[in-house]
Amino acid sequence: MKRLIQLASVLGVAGGLFLLSGTSAKAASEMYSSVSRSQSVKLVWRKSMGQHAFTRSQGGRYSKHLGLLYAMGYEEPNEIWFTDAHEKLYRKAKGTSAIYYHVQNAAGMHKGWIWRGYLKPTTTTQTPAVVGAKIAKNQALKTQQNIAFQKMTNQQIQAAVSKKLASQYTFNPKMMAFAQYMTDADDGVSGQTKDRSKVWQPAKFGIKGNKHFIGDGGLTAIEDMDLGWMRSLPANTQGGNYLVDGLADKIAHSLQYVTQNHNVRNLGIGVVSDPGASLQENASNDPYSKNFYLALGVEFYWQEDHVVNTW
């Protein structure tokens, strides 16, 4: 596909490489501090404990044995923490001991050890069990909708997205047919040639182009449609498809640019989906990738009365 959008965790990998290759004096200092802090305490005992809810506004959240500082309290003041273990650490320099609780948030995404003196008891109905059940239900629904989306044809996706946007934009049927035809051609779908000079035939679709120019563009804003973006979308609980919803939102932003910067008439969009595209950056090892990977391309076409630059 010419405008293939690879939905893989590329940014995370690239970011990790950057951090490893650019170790600063500050980073080296923090690494030394973490080692020093870890060696300054001795584990006396560690045991499991019942679930209790707490909040905190100060103090650090650490890895085991205080090795790594994950976050400070002021960085996550609204988080509710639930206990599942506690430990006693002996502080060598002071000759005293302290109790730390192992906690996690309701979604189970953030965990760590916090000194119990920083934790304040609270009550909530959004326990890990409740939140976990919601997440599992949402994930199952998204998986079903993702599989359904991958079975849709390009024309079905085009129709579904244009229906979502019907209250904001008026699409011309002839231009929609031409846009889908050109999008398929540009991406080599169904064996069509990628040579635009051989397929640029708007007259075949009833579009009179002798007095009017046709502008076209691609959806550059869609480049952040990676696994993280897809995970952030909520499942559609009204019988629709969350990917259609998300794609419609992305297209709407780009159409806003088109309509603000061009004298648009007879607007059309074309969509290409390639769920069989190859995974990159070892994304196949990510359990989320199995049902949350596909590639998309979107193009816009419209008419106006002056020369249009492709954007």
Please state the rounded mean pLDDT for residues 225-248: 81
Per DSSP, what are the bridge partners of residue 82?
Answer: 53, 104
164-199 per-position pLDDT tens digit: 999 999 999 999 999 999 888 876 665 555 666 777
pLDDT given for residue 26 in this prediction = 43
Confidence of residue 304 (pLDDT cuts 50, 70, 90): confident
Q: For 244, how many CA atoms within 13 A lie in the half-sphere containing its CB?
A: 26
Diameter over CA atoms, the chain:
89
pLDDT given for residue 233 in this prediction = 83
CA distance 200 to 181: 9
CA distance 115 to 84: 14
The answer to whether residue 8 scores a pLDDT higher than 50 is: no
CA distance 69 to 64: 10
pLDDT given for residue 296 in this prediction = 76
Residue 278: DSSP 8-state:
P
SS3 140: helix
Q: What percentage of the chain carries pLDDT values higher than 90?
A: 42
When the pLDDT of each residue in the chain is averaged and rounded to a whole number, the result is 78
The answer to whether residue 86 scores a pLDDT higher than 80 is: yes
199-211 per-position pLDDT tens digit: 788 888 888 765 4
The pTM is what? 0.62
